[in-house]
Chains A and B, each alone.
Chain A
Amino acid sequence: MISKEKEFAQLIKDNQGLIIKVSRLYTNSLEDEEDLFQEIVLQLWRSYDSFKGNSKISTWMYRVALNTAITLFRKKSKSLPTNELDINHRDFIEDDDDKQQQISLLYTVIKTLPNVERAIVMMYLDDLPYKDIAENLGITEVNARVKMNRLKKVLKEKMEKNA
């Protein structure tokens, strides 16, 4: 019989992309990113029993990961000031792949947003329905939609400006 720990480890391994993305969006160094990843895994493990069967894996993972990144993580995830965009973007210029460069720039641009807005954009990009985005944050669906529409304009402006 497979142990609970092993079952959990497999679940994390299969879904680590989500945790990596959250960790990357809420930290500014590789070391912090790894620390946050570990903290999210720990918090997921602690709430594993209460999750089992109660909600969708993605909903549970998003909630725990975002709560940990925004509220629990002991290092501040300061928004990057807009004038740092160029410097950060330059780090990715050497990437060969055009798409990868765009993704890197998008990460940098999203990091200039406040914590809650980063979460909305990330869930939107990962195709979560507005109902789930709203439920994960504790806001209304209508307001999540309104906010996202405004954010689309902000991101478009920032991406085009920093391209």
Chain B
Amino acid sequence: MPEFDLDSFKKTWQEQPVVPKYDNDEILQMLNKKSRNYVKYILWISIIEFVLFTAFGLFYIIQNKESNTFITSLQKLGVEKNEQLVGIFDNIYLVIKILTLFVTGYFVAKFYENYRKIKVEEDLKEFISRIIRFKKTVNAFILINILIVVVFTSALTIFGMYAIHNQNTALADSSMIAFTVSFIISTVLCVLLIWLYYRLVYGILIKRLDKNLNQLKEIDSQED
């Protein structure tokens, strides 16, 4: 091939015979087809996550069994059930309930607001940034939920320790260790599973967007 010059090739490129593939009717038919795009995919995953995490939160709020189960466990360890104990436990529970509801409410509003801001006719950089911001809202929601789980479990553990200590309950070393270890293991497992999911699903989804955004940033940071 003789020397290739892109500028001289412009005319050939623009005049390339592009055979029209579709007529008006075929284009109209396309409007009725379902879109299977990437943002929609992210949206559906996000909605499922919201529903699951909200259901998870509400489940803890609605069910009263939890307080009974936990206090029964403490009773098995030799702690005596009294009004003060139940009162403190109910207060911890109430704070967590209000916190969960507040967090969910805030994030549902933020989630919807960020989704609505995604407009396909924006410039590429802004478009990708908005999708990432939208996804980050969901990520933050999940991270805060993990934090709530950790705070909740820690509060229960501390409360259990307090009850045992306060009533001078004589506890066998093995029971005390089992009590502490079971709480730590369940918390770590819960956080680990959510973290793993978070890394797998979002890692893959966000990676592609980040790659394109980085290409744009790289172009914008270059010097002549």
User: Which residues on A are within 8 Å of B, measured CB to CB?
Assistant: 5-6, 8-10, 12-13, 16-17, 20-21, 37-39, 41-43, 45-47, 50-51, 55, 60, 63-64, 66-68, 70-74, 76, 99-100, 102-103, 106, 114-117, 119, 124-127, 135-140, 142-144, 146-147, 152, 155-156, 159-160, 163
Contact = CB atoms under 8 A, between A and B. Distances in A.
Contact of B27 (A12, A60, A67, A138): A12
Interface string B6-23: 110110111011101111
Nearest to A153: B6
Contact of B120 (A46, A99, A114, A117): A46
8 contacts: A9-B27, A13-B20, A16-B22, A42-B30, A71-B127, A72-B39, A73-B38, A152-B7
A37 B38 CA distance: 15
B219 interface: yes
Interface of B: 1, 3-7, 9-10, 12-14, 16-18, 20-25, 27-28, 30-31, 33, 35-39, 41, 119-128, 131, 208-209, 211-212, 215-216, 219-220, 222-224
Contact of A74 (B41, B126, B223, B224): B41
Contacts of A76: 208
Contacts of B10: 125, 127
Nearest to A148: B6
Contacts of A71: 38-39, 124, 127-128, 131, 209, 212
Given A55-B121, A115-B211, 12 more contacts: A5-B31, A10-B24, A12-B27, A13-B20, A41-B30, A68-B37, A71-B39, A74-B36, A125-B6, A135-B123, A156-B3, A159-B4
B125 A139 contact: yes
Nearest to A59: B121
B173 to A, nearest CB: 57
B9 A106 contact: yes
Q: Return the 4 tightest CB-CB contacts between A and B, nearest first.
A: A138-B125, A163-B1, A138-B123, A17-B18
Given A41-B30, A71-B131, A13 B23 contact: yes
B6 to A, nearest CB: 5
B64 to A, nearest CB: 45
Contacts of A127: 10, 14
Contacts of B27: 8-9, 12-13, 41
Contacts of A47: 119-121
B222 A146 contact: yes
Contacts, number: 168
Contacts of B4: 155-156, 159-160, 163
B16 A103 contact: yes
Nearest to B224: A146
Given A68-B37, A71-B212, A159 B122 contact: no
